[in-house]
Every structure is written in C-alpha cells, then in structure tokens.
Copies of this chain bind each other. A is one copy, B any other.
Amino acid sequence: MTRRTLRIALLGQGFMGRAHSNAFLQVEHFFDVPFDLELRVLCGRDPERLARMAATWGWQETATDWRRVVERPDIDLVDVALPNALHAEAAIAAARAGKIVLCEKPLALNAAESARMAEAARGVPTMVWFNYRRVPAVAFAHRLIEQGRLGRIYHYRAVYLQQWAMREDLPATWKLTRKQAGSGVVADLASHLIDLALWLNGPIREVAAMTHTFAVGRDVEDAGLFLARFENGSLGSFEATRFATGCRNRNAFEIHGSRGMLAFNLEDMNRLRFLDASDPEDVQGARDLLVTGPGHPYAEHFWKPGHIVGYEHTFIAALADFLVALSRGERFRPDFEDGHRVQVVLDAVERSAASGQWVRIPAG
C-alpha cells in the first residue's frame, strides 16, 4: 500500500517559519507518520533570506507571492506563519482552494475575522499552532484533569510573563504594531493562556479586564490582566505582560480542585507539580514530576526517561497528532473552530478593558 504524500507550502520566513520547518523535518524521525511530507515551497518577501532558509531546511522552491502559492494544484497543505494581519486572508484563500490549512496563533485579529476563517475552513482539515497543548507536562496535566484527579475545580490562575519589550527604544516590529498584530500581549500571550484554559478548564463565561501600555508612543498594550468566571464555577485570574523584569518566558498556570492541585511553568517545561489531596495529610505535598516518561504523553517518541525535551518538540508533537487525526479522518484540536473560541474571549477581554465592565462571553 502506498503512503499518501502531503506537499507543503509554508508562508512565512521568520522565527515561526523556522520552528515549523523543523517540525516538518523532524516529525517522521520520532513518530510513525502516515504521510510522506514534501517541503515543496517556502514563501516570503525577502528573496535573499528566503533562499538561505530554503537551503538550510530543504525547501524545494521559494516564492514571494503567497496568493499564487495557495492556489497551486501541487500543494496539499498550506501553513500560515505570517504576521497576524495576514492570517485571515491567506487562510481563507487556502481553505477555499481546498487545502489543508495550518495557521499560527492567534488565529486572527479579532473574532469577526476568526469567524469568517472558521466558516471558510468548514470542510477542510485545520490546525492552529497552539503548540503548548503539546508540552508533555501540559498534556499530562490535561490527562489528570480528564481522569478526575483534580475533582471539582475552584481556581485557575495563569500568567504569561516576559520582559523583552521593556526598552522604550525598540523598533516597531509587527508584534508592536496594532495594525499588524491586532493587539499586544492580548493577541500574543493571552491567546496562549486562553487556549490552555479553555482546553484544561472549559468555557469562560465572563471577564473583567484592564490593559496598559507602559512604553510611551507604543500603540499596543504592554500588559493585560483579567478576572474570569468559568462555566464550571471556578474563578480565573490571568496576567500577560512584556514588562515582567526577570521573566524570559514564564507561561505558567496553577489549578486548585477539590481533589488536587497542578502547577506548570514553561521555563521549566519538563516538570509538572501535582498534589493529590487524597494522600494522607502528613505525606501530602506537591510532587515534582519529571514528565519525560515512563507513562507520560509523547515520552516513548522522544528520548528516555529523565532526558529533557525542549521548545521545538511541542511543534513536532502537535504536527504528529494532526497528521494522525488527518489520516483517520478525525477532528484535530485545536482547529480553526477552537482558534475562533479563543478569539471570542480575547475580544471580550479588550472590550472589558475599554469599558471597565464585566463582559459576558457568548456560549460557543
């Protein structure tokens, strides 16, 4: 029986283009992938850098006009790793051309856009690169929650703390420009927080938010904080900021339930802290789990127990899961529908920050 080949076009030549390229190459080394992946076209705007990047990562061709690329008949899968402002147009064009569509997060500039994208993509397989669901420790957290090991959830607390934007004299790259990014930390960091929260703890019913720009003259917010009420009755606290001195990439959550506690921090991503409240009180304490196997998600695919995996492995594992779902005709999560649900919450956060009111999230 011959395996199907997926011919890939990657739109984007930045940091994410590199992370995705690596995933496309590495996935078959660690997973039993049901497709042959062909790195057909790398598409970007800077021809010189594009050529170098294509050579490094083995892309067969380069192109500079993504509109043509997404319609090429020799492309099966389009991966959108462009600035946020281009996600909708590119992904919709690709979906309408019948392509499988992967898209970087956040899915869109706002919920109106993401709704159109999800609508356009109905019928084609999609994935949003919310890669942190595939951190082994996070996937294991999800499993413990699914198993009821935390019981009824009371508190969900999440922060995404970075410091790179503290200098006022930073050039206004696209992430620091509202028109291209949609918003600042809300789009960039809170989107990750919300995706994980919805996945781990279910829908959010309402939010009260504040946002702030510390850097003079910058047109996106540097910080966003919000309180939330989840459908399951638990209380949420969220904070995203690029002014957290001392924090490189602290994407962290902590969850308290009637039967246990979980805590995670991306800067220490191979670990999960887990407290089992059914342990006798005198030996009850947060357990420091090194989530590298045995028995942990993805552990048998990478190295041996105790052997650390890193940032790039989250992309590889996400892609592997997507390809398996694709081969089975199953829905992959998070898809564009999920990406849209995140966007709906982000919109509510921005509206609440603007109005100073609690804002309800319409049911999904």
Contact = CB atoms under 8 A, between A and B. Distances in A.
Contacts of A283: 144, 274, 276, 287, 289
Nearest to A55: B28
B275 A307 contact: no
Interface string A269-308: 1100011110111111111111010111000001111111
A177 interface: no
Interface SS, A side: mixed
A210 B225 contact: no
B155 A305 contact: no
Contacts of A325: none
A94 to B, nearest CB: 26
Contacts of A227: 208-210, 225-227
B282 A295 contact: yes
A35 interface: no
Interface string A203-233: 0000011101010000000010111010001
A174 interface: no
Contact of A243 (B155, B157, B285, B290): B155
A318 to B, nearest CB: 15
A256 B222 CA distance: 13
A45 interface: no
B19 A303 contact: yes
Nearest to A143: B282
A216 to B, nearest CB: 12
A275 B245 contact: yes
B285 A287 contact: yes
A33 B288 CA distance: 39
A307 B310 contact: yes
Contacts of A295: 280-282
Interface stretch (A76-84, A115-123, A257-265): A257-265
Interface residues of A, number: 90
Contact of A306 (B210, B248, B288, B307): B248
A312 interface: yes
A5 interface: no
A241 interface: yes
A2 interface: no
Nearest to A274: B283
A239 B285 CA distance: 21
A134 to B, nearest CB: 14
A332 B275 CA distance: 37
A25 to B, nearest CB: 7
A311 B309 contact: yes
B261 A246 contact: yes
A289 B285 contact: yes
A166 B26 CA distance: 34
Given A261-B246, A295-B282, A311 B311 contact: no
Nearest to A311: B307
A90 to B, nearest CB: 24
Given A267-B290, A308-B308, A309-B310, 7 more contacts: A28-B56, A208-B210, A208-B227, A209-B227, A223-B235, A225-B227, A285-B289
